[in-house]
Amino acid sequence: MPAISTKGRLMPPSPIRKLVPFAEAAKKRGVQVIHLNIGQPDINSPKVALDAIRNLDRTVIEYSHSAGYESYRKGLAKYYASVGIDITPEQILVTNGGSEALLFGMMACFEPGDEVIIPEPFYANYNSFALAAGVVVVPLRTRIEDGFALPSVNEFEALITPRTKGILICNPGNPTGRIYERDELERLRDIVKKHDLFLFSDEVYREFCYDGTEHISTMTLDGIDEQVVLIDSVSKRYSMCGARVGALLTRNKELYDAVLKFAQARLSPPTFGQIASEAALQTPASYFTNVITEYKERRDILVNGLNSIPGVICPEPKGAFYCVAELPIDDSDRFCQWLLESFELDGFTLMMAPATGFYAKPETGKHQVRLAYVLEKELLTKAVECLRAALTSYPGTTTASSASEVGRH
């Protein structure tokens, strides 16, 4: 029998989805599972986008240009101008979700064996994209007690080798909800400029900022126009995850041309998704006002509830709709599976994502979980009740003091 490739064997399973069989089994037993494991918003997609699909009168579903429909790219350029990003339609390439933008960008910028520094915890699929592209992930630890702030310049530079070719950030952050401040981004700017690196910036959660916090795009930083690769997506902005439409933005013409060749090889991004996404650009501002208000209320319920539980530590996220919590437990993978197999409260249990999958070395996240507050407020309140009760009965619960000590080392 032929052997499976090394990449095929090493490709990591999704930490967000690997517990699905246990959740399905719990549901078959009649237990209601509260899904905090995945960032699938329950917010309605904009009506204008849905209407564009409902009212479609085309007789042929044809390929678009490999870079995406010109009308959509022109619309995107206007949208980016409205958030302070100066970009032309010829510097925007439409992709199959932000995932393809990341993969194409990595393949165009890096040789196999090149290194990319990523502050961790980071979006789990960065590991998968890097492996597919032959890129080596070099993690740079951020700490829960510091609110996952970016480390110092010295800590970045200590990891830079002749193989280092880029830095990748997510801002606002998945899984932490961290929004980087201007001085943090300017430090990054200085590093990539000094060492001639690419700066990949995943900004798919741009709209979701709370408490007056300002989102600053890396594309507005001076002096690194040729080095910034911006990754974007409609998935979370418009609650259109299934549209599978993203974008790669770059002012580097050579890089754009290289990415376009990868895009030509896969022919075109989704026709229906682009039609809906172009229409979504007409979404009224009130949509985002209402959505942000709703997410802030959900955040407050979940995060305040988590921090009211003895031994639980959860920094308040300022953006996106995720948080990372440190729990007084022995092993987050074991605990999350136990919740689905052995625990229920009034017919409810929780599904969370073990944070082991958001670190380069899984043991680093052994006492942490990622939670997504994309559910209605009543369910989030119930989720906090479930977690509080679960920690009192889980056989691997530790004392608050010992859990905190583990988290510091």
For residue 222, give the 3-state DSSP assignment.
coil
**Residues pairing with 116 in the sheet:** 137, 166
Within this chain, domains 6-44+286-408 and 47-280 share the same CATH topology? no
- Answer yes or no: are the C-beta atoms of 232 and 217 closer than 8 Å: no
Query: Is 199's pLDDT higher than 90?
Result: yes
Say which CATH architecture domain 6-44+286-408 belongs to.
Answer: Alpha-Beta Complex (3.90)
399 band by pLDDT with thresholds 50, 70 and 90 = low
User: Distance between CA 101 and CA 233 in Å, rounded?
Assistant: 9
Looking at residue 401, its pLDDT comes to: 40
Looking at residue 38, its pLDDT comes to: 85
Tokens matching residue 378 = 């009543």
Q: Which residue has the higher pLDDT, 269 or 41?
A: 269
Average pLDDT estimate for 341-346? 96
pTM: 0.93
What is the percentage of the chain residues whose pLDDT exceeds 70?
97
**Quick one: DSSP state of residue 209?**
B
Q: Tell me the pLDDT tens digit for each residue of 63-92.
A: 999 999 999 999 999 999 999 999 999 999
Looking at residue 10, its pLDDT comes to: 87
**Quick one: DSSP state of residue 214?**
P
409 band by pLDDT with thresholds 50, 70 and 90 = very low
For residue 145, give the 3-state DSSP assignment.
helix
What is the percentage of the chain residues whose pLDDT exceeds 90?
90
User: Letter for the amino acid at 313?
Assistant: I
Query: Is 44's pLDDT higher than 70?
Result: yes
Q: Exposed, middle or buried: residue 366 (CB in 10 Å: 0-12, 13-18, 19+)?
A: buried
Looking at residue 173, its pLDDT comes to: 96
Q: Which residue has the higher pLDDT, 362 or 163?
A: 163
Does the domain at 47-280 match CATH 3.40.190.80? Answer given as no
Looking at residue 182, its pLDDT comes to: 95
- Lowest mean per-residue pLDDT among 103-107, 340-344, 345-349, 403-407: 403-407
Q: What is the mean pLDDT of the chain?
A: 94
Query: Is 210's pLDDT higher than 80?
Result: yes
Domain locations along the chain: 6-44+286-408, 47-280
Looking at residue 171, its pLDDT comes to: 97
123 band by pLDDT with thresholds 50, 70 and 90 = very high
Average pLDDT estimate for 335-364? 94
Looking at residue 280, its pLDDT comes to: 98
